[in-house]
Structure 1
Amino acid sequence: MDRMPAWADAVLVPLISIILAAFLSALVILAIGENPIEAFKLMVEGALMKSSGWGYTLYYATNFMFTGLAVAVAFHARMFNIGGEGQAMIGGLGVALVCLYIPFPHWALALIAATLGAAVFGAAWAYIPAILQAKRGSHIVITTIMFNFIAAAVLNYVLVNMLRPKGAMEPATAGFPEATHLPTFFDMFGSPENPLFRSAPANVTFFIAVAACIAVWVLIWRTRLGYEIRAFGHSETAAKYAGISPTRIIVITMLISGGLAGLMALNTTMGEAERLVLNAPEGAGFIGIAVALMGRSHPFGVFLAALLFGFLYQGGAELAFWANIPRELVTVIQALVILFTGALDNMVRMPLERLFLALRKDS
């Protein structure tokens, strides 16, 4: 019997964690002489009360959906993919090669090809750590962390020596052709008379991220492969007894995970920058870990957690810009949320489990 109901695990534990993180953040803001209530109002107004703020919130949330799903899929096989950052970098290389060297008549065709390029390059970057774990027993955490640094070095070399336009100083590619530019939310929902989402980077990739959430749900809970991934994650010994190949599951799961992380490049490289720059992921690969933990590795939970972290990123930027609060403190607030929803999860979970067990005995 479960120690507490599923709804409490999915809703109550993350909610209490967020409240604790918000309380400590308020104390930190008070300690530097600022008003935490006014700071929170400023975050809400900047991230949620105007369309441009929503545009930035959804842009960041799109990144976190892809990387959160990448981590979540690996979690179901009891693997910790910390290589989302590097996989997203290499996925961006796949996007850039497709957009720069294939002439497309329309952005829709370019998006289909870039989606394949991002997924294939991201999956390829996850393949080597997967093989090392499956065949040699190398720990996936160590190899994926190291491959983040290798990815940064590879991308730096390629940008500086191969893809940088002649005469340019910045390690970046040339701008992508206009036919590959994705429609933004302003293009889709706004107009010169109605400046909805004006100047916001949110684009059509958001809907691809939502589709990815649905696809992962179908994969994990409605397919034979998903059942095998979950069975392997619960017990490798039992999975072997049932005829499930550990090598096959490890490799396939990491390929899917790496492909999802690589898809993040659609948003940052093709949708926002419209060229490949050196540090396009900007830490989203690591934020995906917290998103997956908060979302309990469920696609709907990942979707909600990504929206929360999108709010924190955009609200934090507004806070740093308009209030006398240093940007470093905004990072502390974000870190507190990650700390309570991830590393200190059991601090909330264990008392709740005892509470529900006591209530069950009394009844």
Structure 2
Amino acid sequence: MLAVLVGALWLNGCSSLPSQGPSAAKVESDATSQAGERKYLITDLDDRTVAVLERRAPPSFRSRFGDYRPAPNQVIGVGDAVNVTIWEAASGGLFSSQAINGITTGSHSAVIPDQIVARDGSITVPYAGRIRVSGLTPPQVEEAIVKNLSGKAIEPQALVTVSRNISNTVTVSGEVTNGARISLTPRGDRLLDVVATAGGIKAPVHETFISLTRDNQTATVPYQALLARPQENIFARPGDMLTLVREPQTFSAFGSTGRNSVVPFDAIGISLEEAVAKVGGLIDSQADAQGVFVLRAEPASIARDLDPSYPIEPGQQIVNVVYRANMKDTKTYFLARRFALRNKDIVYVAASPINELQKALSVVGAAFQPAATVAGFCSNVKGC
């Protein structure tokens, strides 16, 4: 009778037994429906799979925008406030004041109040007319003013300064202490310099991402990447927009692991090897080391590279992919170190088939326990 019950449970797939999730065989069989429809893609964690994933390089400011050097000189732009001071070599000129009490010669200079560069890119200088300044450096504007005053003023000299720099700024917002429009210095500022000028970040470094928008392109990288890889800390350019976002990264662990939970990890990333260790590894008395799975929604382009035969509907952008790792193979541990987990991944470890048999035996044993107890009691009672 015991053999019959155990056999019945075993042939039934142990579906009536308590379980943490599907077996490795069930994960494989569920990939295809009875009608032959592919419900998700299963691929083994091997050299080819890792190579396909590594070809998709992580987001990088350097690769997207290049490691540009700052412009040698900042140019004046529309909206900037420009201050102009003009000197003459002797009194009696256009910009010279009258002598005081007939003793002094008076001032030989004049300060023109700040002017906002108009939409046409010009400012007005008395006796020099409209001077185009947009796209020019202050020394170039000085030359243009002196040229227009020649023959009108006495050996004129001009000094042009930008009192309020609007065109050479970067907008910083999000998880910073003081979101603002930050003026770039003539020496050039890198991204971390700009964030520091805005007061630094408010969120934890390991949970923060930084987005850079430039010329209608946007790239987002972990803030830690700028600290770990200095080449990512590129120079800011006028008109850049920086947005810092706090986005905690997590993966979920289920099945025969030391800990089933939602597990946080740093924004810079975590490997499958580290993730398994982080949840306490596999339970040796329960886990099927050949049934370690990572469930993820991948772009259709990645799914095509993983399995060109997998059917993808026209216009379909996302494909559910199950990566299968055989942790009984030593080489898999090296591959797991190269396999990067992503936010919202699911790590599932199936139970060993022998564990299901043990459950069946324990259920049958529990069913026969009352009868065995009664039989033992009756054997000690006369007339039972």
Please state which band the TM-score falls in when normalised by the shorter chain: under 0.3
Larger Rg computed on CA atoms: 2
Whose helix fraction is larger, Structure 1's or Structure 2's? 1
Whose strand fraction is larger, Structure 1's or Structure 2's? 2
TM-score by length of 2: 0.19
Greater length-normalized contact order (CA 8 Å, ≥ 6 residues apart): 1
